[in-house]
Structure 1
Amino acid sequence: MTPEIYHIPALLEDSINGLNIKPDGIYADVTFGGGGHSRAILGKLGDNGHLFGFDRDSDALKNAPDDPRFTFVHSNFRHITNFMRYHGVRSLDGILADLGVSFHHFDDARRGFSFRSDAPLDMRMNRNAELTAAVIAESYTASQLEGLFRAYTDLKRPRAVAESIIKARASEPIDTTFRLADAVRPVLNPKSEKKELAQVFQAFRIEVNGEMEALKRFLNATAKVICPGGRLAVITYHSIEDRMVKNFMKTGNIEGKEEKDFFGRTSSPWKQITRSPIVPSEEEIERNPRSRSAKLRIAELITPENRNR
């Protein structure tokens, strides 16, 4: 049975082509979600190929294909090294990461990811985790909230937004999506209210799920689990994560610090396949408006022979 639409994968053809899939290769889709990218990868694999699909949300398990070439891993992609070791995999031929939030999370009001519906202020990808968005709204100081908005958004008045939350929670608990939206609305620009509300919710979601730390650990692990000549393809959706991925593929570290060898050559273990990101066509955006901000970057782990050239 075909599963209900959980997520429409962005840049599907470009990302699959970018992996340069070998029929007998071993790959990982570390953001399995609805399984759209995974099914496309399986379509390129032969009988001896294998795909591992990572997702920390147990809801994604129902989308797992019944295919002996597929293994579902119920975990955050930050733990990819441990799980590959557990499954006896020495190296992967490619990894795909689509960092976007699935339609499922926005459309299921009970998950509390969106300001479009009133629901408990949750936002946990892993519903066994303790930290929720409500806990942040109720317990973080003004300074901590401002720090989140500065780190994870481009809000023009992060301090005002933080103070507005502190003021609102003195009157009633901020424990629902509508209450969070109402708490910050007085200090938002009416002309860009939806955009700014989306950024506020984005900051809470990133903090609840530890997304930036998870991405950092994942990226740093990729060179340990991808074989020389293997590919890393990452789809980003906002400037913070895209900057991290861009820096990592260019220099080998998320800070973007270029280290050079004796001959003045950048010592990054990666060769950028896409120096400029691949973005959706107008046709794709029309079919899938949520792909509008997607950017695909692809890099190849340099082989020992090429490393010295």
Structure 2
Amino acid sequence: MRFGLLGTGPWADRTHGPALVAHPDVELVGVWGRRAEAASAQAERLGTEAYSGVDALFAACDAVAIALPPDVQAPLAVRAAEAGCHLLLDKPLATTPEAARAVTHAADRAGVATVVFFTLHFSGTTANWMNSQAQKGGWRLGRADWLSPVFGGGDSPYTASPWRREKGALWDVGPHALSVLLPLLGTATEITAVPGGSGDTVHLVLRHESGGSSTCVLSHSVPPAAAGVTAEVRGPAGAAQLPDREEPPEEAFGVAIDALLAAVRSGVPHPCDAHFAATVTDLLHEAEAQLPTEDQQIQESPEAPGSP
């Protein structure tokens, strides 16, 4: 399958690009980026061509892999679908329900397959664990904590990302947490969000249609020594804890490519398709609406001018 790659940032450079080049059933036709010089440099590293026009790349491809900020990704995904390209997307799909639904509607109208790269669902160790727990069923309680030092003093290539700084951990790692909890406890019927008081830290509480409940703590603001990922579910079968992901991201992305190819050949949607990702966007958007804005936080701060 002929693929185009959209995006020239660290995620595209370290994960998407190498996985596409290494995949035996993929021809990487070209790359496109918002900065022409970055696209040219990446194309040289990957041994392919840089396209100056994104629509010309769509016309040359059967599918596109997108590694761009969500609010850039969504409208480009719509255009790619309308051009007949299958979509290998990143999380979050978008940051508004309207933009997410535009992608699902465009893909459905065009009859193209979609897969969204929720990393844990394409890493063997964690994917096998989730599949095993889903087969057991009956889970009543869940917890998923994603704590990283991206803004807490860690040496991360993503610290300078403008969209991560604007949207924080809620939108960056929140999709990972929800992608673990929703398949095991069922669709969330209610979500409550509370700011954590430290940087971008957010606490979530969810009720699920199964009658179960779950919680999340999401942060990019913890010190490196406090970072970590923990997820577990509890029910009649006991307690089960998510194992550490063992595979590097580029290997998991190769599995995501396989999943898109399988969805194209079979016509059967993958569980992590754009519709599932749109559900995640709906929940995160509802959570975000409950959090104080930056101006409100300044006004409520004890150090704010005029505070008692």
TM-score when scaled to structure 2? 0.27
TM-score when scaled to structure 1? 0.27
State the structure with bigger RCO (CA 8 A, min sep 6), 1 or 2. Answer: 2
Higher strand share: 2
